[in-house]
């Protein structure tokens, strides 16, 4: 089954334009979804749209409203919302090229695949894509999706283009609000030395197939057990980690090699070639400076 595009329009580099389609690059996480059930009847509960004064109302009769003050709304129809048109509603216009390391990784948001829309778009798309690849930089453009104009970071990936929406400056919180209370005291060098050896034991290539949602797998097992009529055993709560002697804990960790990935995996990873994901861009401080460079 072919993927359905999230957005369709044009990609433009100066006077070169081609039709493109934007596809989500990820699946929604999680396969276990629960419904609200009345245990007395075993019926699934239905959510009914209700007016507090007049009672239930059909959803098709509802309009959107923006609250300007307590209880006062400006009503908007979908046609009125759709009448707001920007050029980025239908065209991703590449505005700037920036080094990947200039974009603080906190700004990277959701990934998408950008591909030519139709055979006639292939040639122009290939020219834009190859020119971007040779620049070695990230292209920045804008797109309107879900009633928001988003900044897009574009980079060549395989035969297409990988597009990431970027968060706005207002969406990224100031790290000082969280990190400000952390002590400036320097840690013990001997402890750092042992911790580094522990890290070396755990080095290996990144293989996403090795990481599964263990909580969801446990939920599936629980559901299967109940389906078969088995009584669910209560699982003991995990003990809280209480490190009394940090040096002793580090030494004990260094001796516990179980589960450490094989060193051969590191050399095997070097033989693979893959385009550098934006998440590996170096974080630069402060974030606001990085954003201004990218805007």
Both tokens assigned to 198: 């522990």
Confidence (pTM): 0.71
Q: Exposure of 182 by Cβ count < 10 A (0-12 exposed, 13-18 middle, 19+ buried)? A: exposed
Can you say how many angstroms the Cα of residue 186 is from the centroid of all Cα atoms in its chain? 34
Alpha carbon distance 165, 71 (integer Å): 34
- What does the pLDDT look like over 42-51, one tens digit per residue? 999 998 999 9
Q: Which residues have C-beta within 8 Å of that of residue 233, sequence separation ≥ 6?
A: none
Residue range 83-96: mean pLDDT, rounded: 88
CB atoms within 10 A of CB 289: 12
Average pLDDT over residues 72-85: 87
Gap between the Cα atoms of 290 and 140, Å rounded:
13
DSSP three-state, residue 253: helix
Q: Please say if the pLDDT value at position 126 is more than 60.
A: yes
From residue 104, how far is each of 239, 264, 287 by CA, in Å?
Answer: 37, 32, 6
pLDDT at 293 over 70: no
Name the pLDDT band for 278 (thresholds 50, 70, 90). Answer: low
Q: Is the pLDDT of residue 191 over 70?
A: yes
pLDDT at 284: 44
User: Across the chain, what does the average pLDDT equal?
Assistant: 84
105 against 293, higher pLDDT: 105
Beta strands in the chain (DSSP E): 7-13, 16-24, 37-38, 43-44, 50-51, 55-56, 64-69, 72-76, 91-93, 96-98, 108-116, 138-145, 148-157, 160-166
Greater pLDDT, 93 or 248 = 93
Domains (range + CATH), the chain: 7-30+83-171 (2.40.290.10)
Angle between helices 246-255 and 189-201 (to 10 degrees): 30
Per the listing, tokens 């390391």 go with 101
Tokens of 93: 């216009």
The residues facing 142 across adjacent strands are 151
Locus of tokens 């109302």: 57
State both tokens at 254: 């260094």
Neighbours of 90 (CB within 10 A): 13
Helix, strand, coil shares of the chain as percentages rounded to 5? 35, 25, 40
Q: How far apart are CA 64 and CA 79, in angstroms?
A: 11
pLDDT greater at residue 238 or residue 248: 248
Per-residue model confidence (pLDDT) at position 243: 65
| pLDDT over 50 at 270, yes or no | no
């Amino acid at each position: 089954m072919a993927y359905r595009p999230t957005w369709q329009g044009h990609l433009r580099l100066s006077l070169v334009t081609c039709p493109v389609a934007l596809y989500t690059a990820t699946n929604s996480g999680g396969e276990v979804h629960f419904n609200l059930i009345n245990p007395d009847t075993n019926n699934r509960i239905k959510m009914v749209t209700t007016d507090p004064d007049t009672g239930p109302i059909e959803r098709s009769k509802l309009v959107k409203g923006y609250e300007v003050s307590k209880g006062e709304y400006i009503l908007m129809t979908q046609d009125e919302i759709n009448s707001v048109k920007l050029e980025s509603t239908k065209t991703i216009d590449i505005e700037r090229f920036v080094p990947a390391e200039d974009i603080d990784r906190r700004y990277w948001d959701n990934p998408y695949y950008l591909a030519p829309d139709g055979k006639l778009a292939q040639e122009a798309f290939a020219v834009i894509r190859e020119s971007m690849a040779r620049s070695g930089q990230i292209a920045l453009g804008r797109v309107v999706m879900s009633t928001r104009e988003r900044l897009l970071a574009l980079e060549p990936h395989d035969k297409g283009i990988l597009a990431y929406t970027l968060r706005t400056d207002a969406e990224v919180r100031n790290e000082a609000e969280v990190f400000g209370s952390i002590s400036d005291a320097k840690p013990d060098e001997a402890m750092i030395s042992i911790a580094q050896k522990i890290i070396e034991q755990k080095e290996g290539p990144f293989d996403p197939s090795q990481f599964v949602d263990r909580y969801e797998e446990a939920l599936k097992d629980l559901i299967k057990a109940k389906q078969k009529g088995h009584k669910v055993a209560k699982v003991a709560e995990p003990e809280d980690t209480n490190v009394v002697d940090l040096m002793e804990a580090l030494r004990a960790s260094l001796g516990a090699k179980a589960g450490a990935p094989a060193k051969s995996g590191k050399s095997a990873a070097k033989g693979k070639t893959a385009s550098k994901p934006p998440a590996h861009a170096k974080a630069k401080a402060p974030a606001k400076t990085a954003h201004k460079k990218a805007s």
